[in-house]
Amino acid sequence: MSPEPANCPVCGAAAERLRAAPRGYRYTCPSCGTFQISSRALSCRPGLPASAREDIRRLRAYGHLPLLELTRDGVSISPGRP
Ligand SMILES: [Zn+2]
C-alpha cells in the first residue's frame, strides 16, 4: 500500500499517511515527524490537545513511535510500539 497525501491532523501541514493496523493511520509530517493515530482520535479533530505537537516531539526524541488514541478522558498520546 502506498502513502496518500493528507494534511497532518496535528499541525495541518501537507503530509502523507499510510493505513496502520489495527485501525487508524501512520502519518509522516515534515514538521511533527512520524506518528500513529487511531480513526477515532482522527475523527475527533479539531479536538486534539494543544500539547499534542510537543508530546509527539518529546516521544520521538526518546525513540518512540507516538500513538494518539481516543480515551474516555479525551485524546491520549502514548509511546506506542517502536
Ligand atoms: Zn504535523
Ligand 1 centre to CA of 52 (Å) is 10
Q: How many helices (H) and strands (E) would you count in the chain?
A: 2, 6
- Per-residue pLDDT of 3-20, as tens digits, reads 999 999 999 999 999 998
Q: What is the block-wise mean pLDDT of the chain (82 residues), using blocks of 10 residues? A: 92 95 91 94 80 95 94 89 62
How many structural domains does the chain have?
1
Ligand 1 centre to CA of 30 (Å) is 7
Domain extent at residue 44: 4-78
Q: According to the model, what pLDDT value does residue 9 have?
A: 93
Ion ligand 1 residue ranges (Cβ < 5 Å) = 8, 10-11, 13, 29, 31-32
Share of the chain above pLDDT 70, in %: 95
Calculate the average pLDDT of the chain.
91
Q: Residue 75 forms beta bridges with which residues?
A: 70
